[in-house]
Amino acid sequence: MSFSSHFVKDKFAQYYQKYSSSIQPPASIENREFGFLLLKERIMLRHKGFRSVDDLRSSLKTIVPSDVYYSSAYYERPEEEMKGKGWLGADLIFDIDADHIPTPCGKVHDIWVCSNCGAVGRGESLKKCPTCGEQKFNEKTWPCEVCLESAKVEAIKLIDVLTKDFGFSSGELKVGFSGHRGYHVQVESEEVRELDSMSRKEIVDYVLGIGLEAEFHGLGGKRSRVLAGPDLNDLGWRGRIARGTYAFLLTASPEELEKIGLKKNVNTIIQHKKKLLESWKGKGKGPWGIIRDIGPESWRKIAQYGVGKQSVKIDTVVTTDIHRLIRLANTLHGKTGLKKMEVPITGIEDFDPLKSAVTFKEGTVTVLVSDAPQFRLGDETYGPYKEQEIKLPTAAALMLLCKGAAKVVE
């Protein structure tokens, strides 16, 4: 192991020595499979089982893994190979990752590295390396403030759907900051435990608003007269369509209206924007049909766009996978040195992951940074850095070391 890797391992070891008592066992720990990503070997140690949280805590102290996971599933025999485990059920889990949300800053802070020739570029990976034609890349993303904020907005939308539409109580939901670029939402309830993959796919489709046609809600369609479109206060997706439409009309520019396929109505909409928005203030009204020139088909297009705005950007694969491993709360994220932590549902709006999830608050380290965008931790902003030797607080240095963007100066 390099000097820098030793440094990271020492820090992670200190954390687990000091804070392992903060690690709480998942429900029915004896039925869960655990997995550890090893710091040095970079391999995943799977099919681990623990009878008690004390066993788990002392393993973390001796192994000092880079990342710690446990199964969303409950098994009769968690330590056996997949076939012999005896699946008993699984929590319902949702993963929201900034990687699935387009943000403008990705172009600034994300880097791809060609795995064949090492060519480097900014933004999303290309289909093919421009230098050698290789199609495999290593992507380096950042836990940036804008990206994290947009992930949080999605988490809040998801909590709304799960509590209001599905009727889960907030006590059945666990919301967590991942320690990197996202949030996890987990439903621990007898009612979801035995759902198979297909049933979970139905839930995914609902959350995404897939198959939701605005014309079934009184908008557009071949023979329709616009009469009763959804209202802002309607329950479920009807209200979401209305709120999505409202939000869109509130800020839509002529270009954006053209983008969704509107042509001659664009000017009419812009001209009557105020009237359209105010139409919602009366009871049970809304803008549908109040201006003759804006016909059903235009409203269908606008409302369909509203659906897209309200759909929650989850990683669909995670929810349907009934054997998924998820990160354990109060363990460290190997790509940042931040901890995964639970976030209280009330007050999530004010939760600041780049402050709350920082664990190493003492000391400084001198590092040689190869390339890093500007980032914030706590109240301090660091970088951008390029081939620069600099003395940094431990948490900031650790972030760069975990990202592979720096080396400790010996």
Q: Which of 97, 99, 110, 231 is catalytic?
A: 97
CB count in 10 Å sphere of residue 35: 19
At a CB cut-off of 8 Å and minimum separation 6, what does 63 contact?
A: 36, 38, 45
- Tell which one of 60, 114, 402, 405 touches Zn ion (CB under 5 A): 114
Q: Which of 55, 80, 134, 321 binds Zn ion (CB under 5 A)?
A: 134
Sign of the dihedral through C-alpha 47, 41, 68, 190: negative
374 part of the interface to Zn ion, by CB under 5 A: no
Across the strands, what pairs with 332? Answer: 339
Residue 338 CA to residue 315 CA, distance in Å, equals: 22
Which region among 19-27, 125-133, 206-214, 385-393 touches Zn ion (by CB under 5 A)?
125-133
Whichever of 27 and 117 has its CB closer to Zn ion, that residue is 117
Segment near Zn ion (CB under 5 A); pick from 66-74, 116-124, 193-201, 320-328 = 116-124
- Residue 119 touching Zn ion (CB under 5 A): yes
State the nearest-atom distance from the C-beta of 144 to Zn ion, in Å: 3
For 164-187, give one letter per residue: b (16+ CB within 10 A) or e.
eebebeeebbbbbbbbbbbbbbbb
One of 21, 24, 131, 253 touching Zn ion (CB under 5 A): 131
Of 146-165, binders to Zn ion (CB under 5 A) are 146-147
CA 172 to the chain's CA centroid: 19
User: Is the CB of 31 or the CB of 141 nearer to Zn ion?
Assistant: 141
**Could you say which of 116, 268, 279, 388 contacts Zn ion (CB under 5 A)?**
116
Q: Is 144 in the site for Zn ion (CB under 5 A)?
A: yes
Least distance in angstroms from the C-beta of 120 to Zn ion: 10
Helix (H), strand (E) counts: the chain: 14, 18
Is position 95 annotated as part of the catalytic site? Answer: yes
| Phi, then psi, of 94 in degrees rounded to 5 | -130, 135
Known active-site residue 205: no
Q: Whole-number minimum distance, CB 127 to Zn ion, in Å? A: 12
Annotated catalytic residue: which of 55, 165, 205, 315? 315
* Structure tokens that stand for 28 in this block: 């029915």
Q: Which is nearer to Zn ion, 116 or 163 (CB)?
A: 116
Q: What is the DSSP string of 278-307?
A: HTTTSTT--STTSSTTS-HHHHHHHHHHHH
Give the interface segment with Zn ion, choosing from 123-131, 279-287, 308-316, 317-325 (CB under 5 A).
123-131
Strands of the sheet with 67-71, listed across from one edge:
44-48, 34-37, 67-71, 325-327
Site for Zn ion contains 320 (CB under 5 A): no
Taking CB under 5 A as the criterion, the residue among 1, 27, 82, 132 binding Zn ion is: 132
Select from 3-11, 96-104, 165-173, 179-187 the region that touches Zn ion (CB under 5 A).
Answer: 96-104
Complex with Zn ion: residue 129 or 326, whichever CB lies closer: 129
Exactly one of 91, 95, 99, 110 is catalytic; name it.
Answer: 95
**Would you state the torsion angle of the CA atoms of residues 353, 355, 357, 358, taken in this order, to the nearest 10 degrees?**
150
Give the pairing type, strands 34-37 and 67-71.
antiparallel
> Tokens representing 386?
């390029």
3-state secondary structure at position 96:
strand
Among candidates 381, 376, 385, which has minimal Cα distance to 405? 385
User: What number of chain residues touch Zn ion (CB under 5 A)?
Assistant: 13
Shortest Å distance, C-beta 220 to Zn ion: 36
Residues that bind Zn ion (CB under 5 A): 103, 105, 114, 116-117, 119, 129, 131-132, 134, 144, 146-147
Residues annotated as catalytic (active site), given as ranges: 95, 97, 315
